[in-house]
Amino acid sequence: MTQVLVTGGTGFIGSWCVLTLLDAGHTVRTTVRDLRREPALGSWLHAATPFDDDRLTVVRADLEHPDGWDAAVADCDFVLHVASPTLRHTPANDDELVVPAREGVLRVLRAARDARVRRVVLASAFGAIGIGHPPRSTPFTEEDWTNVDSDIPPYQRSKTLAERAAWQFVQDEGGGPELAAVHPVGVLGPLLGPVDPPSLRLVRRMLEGQVPACPPFGMGFVDVRDVADLHLRAMTDPAAAGERFLAIAGHSLRVVDIAHILHDRLGERAAKAPTRELPVWLARTLGIANPELRLLRHQLGRDLNATSAKAEKLLGWRARPIEDTIAQTAESLLTHGIGK
């Protein structure tokens, strides 16, 4: 029976990867930074799917520390490296995110090499592909890389440099594990438990009436269940070795489009969601004092589109309609008491 390590098993994407692997019959080991979260993860997963407890093991390992990684990877056939360092405050400098992300991925790859893991699938992001470029009319593809020499936010810089380090490691090692990378755009979808993932905060804040008007930009979105499915395909399909895969459902959406979908699907429960879009000039002006708008300064007035044609052609991957995902995201948030 195939054994798979998933790093960051209590995270939004990580927990869905664990669930998808269990549903597919794999034995899963997953890392958490705090073992006190193990009971909650187990209860979420058991509520979502039946499985024998002996097919899931939770171990402690932290990307910022070397301890625990050799034991976590031991006897695993594959690794899905989903965990990524996050901060609860604005970093004083980019290295607060860049260094842990880069060193963390190298710790996982070294442990995978020593354990003779067959393939590592890295959860990267659109932020490592489509940021720091001049405006363009064509969709971004896997051939693109974020321009780290431009003035970009720390998170996107960290994802880009961590992935660059991963590919360089595999190239230098030669006989080490194969590598594939998955690049989701904005990740939405239902929750497995009562958590508050950063990628769902836009929808949550819309439901709560905390967004008075929609920022003027568009980007791609994708369902977390489809992201987990793409990780599984990238893990098992021979064609995925050495490849990057974008994950997007259809095409980009303006933020105001999301608000309209919420109104159409949820009616009065989405009454607080804004239905007007800020003018670009006003959004830029407000960004001087608003840190959230300031982080979006490179996106304002633009539509950051991408294509999943490669994943569809090579791996047979398909994304569900994003309108359904947006509605199910909101329903899930409200069910868990988030966004009311």
Burial 290-310 (b: 16+ CB within 10 A, else e): eeebebbebbbbbbbbbbbeb
Q: Is the pLDDT score of 317 beyond 60?
A: yes
- Read off the amino acid at residue 192: L
Q: Which of the four pLDDT bands, split at 50, 70 and 90, describes residue 196?
A: confident
Give the global pTM: 0.95
Which one is predicted more confidently, 285 or 200?
Answer: 200
Predicted confidence at residue 44, as pLDDT, reads 95
| Separation CA 243–CA 148 (nearest Å) | 21
Q: Which of the four pLDDT bands, split at 50, 70 and 90, describes residue 314?
A: very high
CA 139 vs CA 123, 142, 300: distances in Å: 21, 10, 17
Q: Are 234 and 184 in contact (CB under 8 A)?
A: no
Per 3-state DSSP, what percentage of the chain is helix, strand, and coil (rounded to 5)?
45, 15, 40
CA 248 vs CA 97, 123, 188, 238, 325: distances in Å: 25, 14, 11, 22, 12
Predicted confidence at residue 94, as pLDDT, reads 77
Burial 225-259 (b: 16+ CB within 10 A, else e): bbbbbbbbbbbbbeebeebbbbbbbbebbbbbbbb
Q: Which of the four pLDDT bands, split at 50, 70 and 90, describes residue 170?
A: very high
Looking at the annotation, which residues are catalytic?
Answer: 159
Strand partners, 303: 218
Q: Which of the four pLDDT bands, split at 50, 70 and 90, describes residue 290?
A: confident
% residues pLDDT > 90 (the chain): 80
Q: Which of the four pLDDT bands, split at 50, 70 and 90, describes residue 281?
A: confident
What is the CATH superfamily name and number for domain 3-335?
A: NAD(P)-binding Rossmann-like Domain (3.40.50.720)
Query: Which 8-state DSSP code applies to residue 140?
Result: B
Which one is predicted more confidently, 293 or 306?
Answer: 306
